[in-house]
Each structure stands twice: as structure tokens, then as C-alpha cells.
Structure 1
């Protein structure tokens, strides 16, 4: 990779030299343009570079041209292109699709994008895209309600999306830059090239109007009913005079005139239809009870690491490392899909609240409910003088103070033990709970887990002989001893005195 190059001029142009500082991302075409501007040689499209008597591809950067530091290049007149200067261009979109075509070397990136938009026959909108500047909420219902409620003077601001072209390792955006950048200027006069097109927000904000799409080409509105769709590309339609139909949303069909009131009431109905809590109250567990697992006396050999255990641990670490290293790159959409699948796996979460007096209350929540719903539930369970409390989990100690986080985001699904601490900092003389809950308290039944059968700590010779499979110590003793009677080499023998 060259940090600078030296460009020599032949006698036909004038025996001169020019030293150009370069960067890894600098195109060789930029080197030619810089030399022509400094030496006032005219049009840089008429020249090319030669290194070691071989012409260089001006579309390459200094990183990929494999030029050493201080490389001596030669600037010569470029030969006319025999193929007519047609370049095969593939415009690759963010969705993965491609639009191909052949263009002269003097075509600008702006004209290529315009032609690709015409080839799509209205299915692709490269220019004139719009998207909401910010959308609060992660559900389709939340986005839908925001669009309906903010279609007035205080409308949600919309941002215009402008195309961003990536050619090689260079980015071109803005109408002025796209119009001034041609294929010939990029050093591409023949062959094929891929132009990646992405969309970035611009600084112009406009209020949303009812018949303007979120993202995509403009659509014509008719008097027929339209169906609101929210796909992965974010395209949507809304006709002011047509009823809104959303089959995937748990809301009835409404019209835009009464959409604000009707949709809001529907949301309240959905939120009020909470699942049954299945509340259970457990008495304090006696402190002198010892778990059954702690009553088992295991020998010291149980904690000794055997060669087989070490091999198994090494193999597991190797498999985990290979799984991480060989994992494919995941897009944001793929990661969101995995999170949604995990949330569907645990639709409900069982929470057990433990109070300072060691009483416990167990309830069931939806995994999509928030931490604030837990605070609301405990407010209805506790007495009025104990409504100032804080929830936390341990270990490690972590306060549950984000009331907007869902139970899945708070890492409480599918079941968790949550501790309750009060502002008073002292244990109540009576009970924290209301009478209707203290009357249904019961003892917590804990079943003893099945313990594995442990081998005898002091194996005898009879047990070893009757065992059908030889143990590890037996197999070790059958190995031949180390070279105890090996012959001493001559060079190690002591000389005669």
C-alpha cells in the first residue's frame, strides 16, 4: 500500500515528475485527475497510468492496486476504447434485488438511478421517498394509532430519504455529487460494476398528510376501500374517504372521522383484558430447614477433576468457540425475528415477590407487560401504608426502575424471584398484605430433587473384581512402567579416573 507515488511524464508530454500523496481509499483515477490539475494537462480522461510497463486499472484504489511506497508511475495518453465505452452496471438495492443495464462511460450516477427507476415500471422509488422521523413503540398497533392521531396540525414530522450510492469503498450522495460523478471519472470505461444503493434521511422535514405514503412511490387514491399493510419495507396507504381495514390488528374497522376516539377506546379494551393473575400467597419458610441437597455427604473424589472431565470441558469450549466463529452475519431484521420467536416461546411469566417478613406472593403476567404493571399489581395487594416500595433482583443486585421495559426486556421471563423493599426500611409488626390475601396463605411445598447415585468413597478389592467394567485406576496400573531399566547412553557414562 503506497503512502505516496511518483508520476513521471514521457518526453511527448514533457519530461517532468510529480509527487502525489495518497491514502488507502484513494482511486488511481483521482491520482490522474490531481496530476492533470497541477500540471494543467487538460482533460484527465485522456490519460492513464502505467506501472512496470503494464497499464493500471484506474477504478482500483491504492490499497487494491498493490503499489509499493514511492512507486514510480508513468502518465501516458489513453488509447480509445474499442468496445464503444459501454459498461455493464448492476444497481443493487437494500432488499437484495438488482437492476442491470449497459451505459456509456460518460453516464453519471444520477442518470443511472433515474434509468433504473424507469426500468422498474413504478415498482421502485429511488427518488422522493419519505419516512417518519421517529416512531415510538414497537408494535404495529402503536404505529397505526400514532399515524391516525397525528394527522392534524401537530402531525408527526416526515423526513425525505435520499439515495446513497456505494461504488467500491466510496460513497456518493446528494444530487450535485451524483450528477457530477460519471463512470469515466471513477476510472470505469469497460467491464462491469456493482452500485449499491442505500437510503439515508435528509434534513428537510415535512408534516405528514393523510394520503402520503410512509416509504415508497406515490400511489393514486380511489374511492374503493384500501387495506392498511405494514410490511418489511414500511410501505403503507391511507385514503381519507375509505374505511380503514387492518386484519392483523385487534381493532374494529373504523372510519377516519371517528378514528381517534374509536381506536383509543379499542386500545383501552385490549389493555384491560389482562390474563388471570393466579395469585398465590405462601407463608414464611422456616429458617432451620436445610435443603435435601445440602444433607448429602459426598466424598472428596466427587470434586476431583478427572482426565475425562477435562477432555469433556475442552471439547465443549471448542464447540462453543467454533459455533461463535462460524456463525453467519445476522442483519437487524434477523435479530429482531429471533427476539420475537423467543418472546413467543414464553408468552407468560411467573413472578414470585418476596417481602421482608419472608411472605411470598406469586402471580402470572404476560411477558409483554411492563415492569410498571408489576408495581400496579403490588399496589392492589399491599396495604395503603406500604405503597412506597422498590423492586429488585439478586444476584447481582439490580433495581427494576425502568417502568416502560417489558418483562422479557427486564430478563424476568419465564420465571423470576423479585424482592420487595419498603421506604420505611423496617419490618412491619403485622402483615404487609391485605386481609383477603393473608387469609388464603399456605405453606410452600418444596419437593426433594432426585439425587444421582454416588460411587463408594473407599472401593474394595472385591468390588473391583466383581465390576464388569474396569475402573480408571485399574487401566492405569496395567500400563507398562516408564523406562526404568532403559540403557544409559555412552556419553552419559562417567570416565575413568
Structure 2
């Protein structure tokens, strides 16, 4: 059975609520909302996925100990309606009536007492039938397993505190001989008061009291005697002294000359109190000195720590100054050698591709794929068996699919440098790419571009060949459909290398989109394919020539460096070149004698 519940409020705070088995869910909601500042009628308690019934007690809510519930907002604010109460008497008679939730149980009993038609056969419910019984009979109301005993408890308990805000309920009423817990508490109060009085009297008796009759006035006693009396009073009133007190049965006597006469027992007690006071004063002074010493040590440690930090900061600042000064001094008188003036000292792949972004000749071609090419003989018809898929064709397609899947699965992860190297190879392999733009009227516009040109250049090329220059259009590739939106994206990044089909799209429909002059110059698809093949072959030749020029340039640089080098270096380079040429000539010569070809079987 739950004895404590943890409630999560909407503001993120958690509140532990101590409950009993008879505590209603409505009481828990009111307690949490009152503390967190929420209206109770707008919230419910939710345990896991279940909204708890506000009218049921914790006993029947199936909540474990230390359960975690959440305060959630209701769909509609909770409204209080009248509750139909059936009051079952000891004679098994039931009295039914509707009451508001704010009505107390005592008011319910008074309501039935005021009904004259009901009171004809029995007495009043609020009156005890037999007052002579010991213990006395008390009115008791029982709701479920919760009992409310006595007039005060009945007046204090309302239907809402029992969790009844709507619906129907049965309350049993009877008279039971029981002793109220309130009477027990009231009976204990005088005893407690008497114990307090006895404790105060005992405390007052522990302090030494001087008889007023024998105590002289301050004017009659000499200064020395007055000092003695004051010291004795101070010592007797000290709280930190041990259990040494002057007994009230042994009063101190004052002589005729004003001196206080103490008995041996009083003198012994005074000495004990004096030692205790002196010891406490000495201990207090020692603690004060230790505290001051600790404060001084802490101050010294803080000062030393600040000094070390300042030194470290100065050293770090000095190191930075020295580093900056050395860097400035090392590059103050730096000059490039005069021998390297006008020479290209650094050549890499990126520098060799500097001209890849410059636009090339577009070699514009327009063709219609529906035009038949008369140069191709189409008289011979292919038999229908040619288009039938055989078992070998299926096996070949299945093998190709397996190989493609395996290549995709076993593809290694590439680093950024490896991806850049692959891009450089592709750009050098295809310095010119062919792009065909397909229009909705079945015409195709073909042009040649550089791989590092941008999408903006492709868009401008299409716009320059349109009949309507102000026509809004867009370019896309498919499948899947991908619109070329970024004008700064390169054609290589858009995956349009080495050749690609791009489609023209527009919200405005026209009979034809291209210039009328281009429509008259339309060629056949075969001619466009021939042009595409020529561009590919030309790009390969350009690649080979660029590689040859790079090799020649490196060779000339080697010759210049060998000419400027001393004779020993020249002879070494000559021997290296000779060995290289010898190895190359031997590799290009005939097959060696020890190599034998395998015979044909």
C-alpha cells in the first residue's frame, strides 16, 4: 500500500506527498496544486497511461509505494455537482437526498433531523440514545473503510474531503461506545502543564538564593565587601559551571563588618566553579589564537598563489614576444634567388587545370530524335525471336546485378584527399563534356562545356537560344527528378560528367521554345552522335598532348638544373639517364631467352 507518492508538476518540479490508504486522489491534487499555484479543478493525476479517479481513495487506486504520478491538465475543468447520498441507519433503513460536496457529515445528519415526517418513528440522529454508558456512545459515519467518529470530526469532514464531488454514495450511520482521541489529548494537557511548572521550580531551586533579611543594602557594605558579594553572585549564576550549586538550605551569612561567611561546602563549590570558569576562558583563548593563526596562513597562501600566477603570466607574455620577434627577424631580409626568376617552381594537378573553368566553343547542334535517318537501311526487319529473353540472358543480367551489388557493398570509405584526387583524374580524363537539353516539343539542344563550369553557364546557354528571352524555366535531371537550383554548383558536382541528358521545364507551354533559325538547322540523331564521338576523341588527344607537354616541361627543367650543377652532379645524372635508357631499351626489345610461351593443347 502506498505511503508516499511522488508527483511531477507541469512546471517540472517534483513533490513528495505522504498519504494514507484512505486519502482520496482529490486531496492529493489539491495539496500539490495549492503548493505549486495551479487551480485544482483543471488537473488530474496520471499513473503511467491511466487517469486516476478523483473520487477513489489510494487504497483502491492500485498505486505502489513511492509511485510516480504526473499532474496533467484535464480536457475540461472539473465542476462540482450534487452528490446523491444514501444514509443507511442501524435499522437498515436508507435515507436518500442530494447534497453539495461542501456539505459536512454533521449537516447531513441535521438535515434528516429537521424532516418531521421521518422523525415520527425514531429519535434524532445527532442525539445520543443512552448517555449513561461508559464509554459514552458517539455518532459514527462509515464510508467505504474510513470511519468518522464524534461530533467534532463529523463537523470537520465534508463530502469533498471524502472524495465525493459527483455521483452517488452510501454512508453507514450508527452509534458506538468509543472514547474519543480528543479527550485523551485534553486530559494530557494539564499533566504536561504541571510537569512544566515542576521543571521551572526545579531550575529556580538550583540557583543559589541569598536571604533578603540578612542581606545589607549596598550603602551599608564597604567597597571590598560589595565586590565580594558581586563576585559570588556572578559565580553562582554562571551557566557553563558544573553541577555545583549552593543549596537553598545553607544560606550565606554576612558578618557585622559586611564580610560574607561561607561554609566549607560552599567554599569547595565556589573553588570548583572558579576552576571551571578559568578553564573555559583559557580554552576560548586557545581556540581564538588557533583561528587567527589559520586565517594568517590562509592569507599567506593566497598571496603566494597570486604572486606565482603573476609570474607565470609574465613569463608567458615574454615567450610570445620572443617568438614574434624571431619570426619578424627571420623574414626581414628574405629574397628569392635571382636564378629562379621567371621560372615556374611549383606545378601540381590543380595548377594544370587552371583553364578548365574557361568556357570553350559550344559547337551548338539541334536535332529531332523523331527524324528518320535515310542513310541507315531499315528495310530488313528483325525477327520476333530476337526480342525473346532466353535463359542465358537472364543469367547474364543476374550476374551483372550481383556484381554491381558487390561493388557497392565492398566500396571502401574515401577520405577527402582521395575524393579530390578522384575528381582531378576525372576532370583531366574528360576536359570537355557533352550535355543534351531535351525540350517538351521533342527537340534536343546539344552543347559542349568544361567540367568546372557552373550551372549558371548552362542556364545562360539555354536562355540565349530561346525564342522568348524572358521565359521562366528550370533545368532538371531524372530519374530521380533533381532540379539544378544552385547556380554556383559545378557541372562535375552536379554529376553531369562525361555526358548527361538535362531536361527543360517551364510553367508556360509554347509550340516551340528554340529560335526559329535553329529549327531550320536541325540535324539527324546520327549526325549528333558522330559529333559527340568526335568531341570525345578530341578530348583524349588533348589529354595525351597535355601529359606530353608536362613531361617535356619537367625534362627541360631537369636539363636547366643539370647545366647549373657542378661536373660531378652532371656525370651522376648522365649515368642515371644512361641506365634508365638502357633499361627502357631492354624492355622494348625482344623477348628474353629464358621466357618460354606455353604450348597450345
Relative contact order: is structure 1 or structure 2 higher (C-alpha 8 Å, sep ≥ 6)?
1
Greater fraction of residues in strand: 1
State the TM bucket, normalised to the shorter chain. 0.3 to 0.5
TM-score normalised over the length of structure 2: 0.27
TM-score normalised over the length of structure 1: 0.32
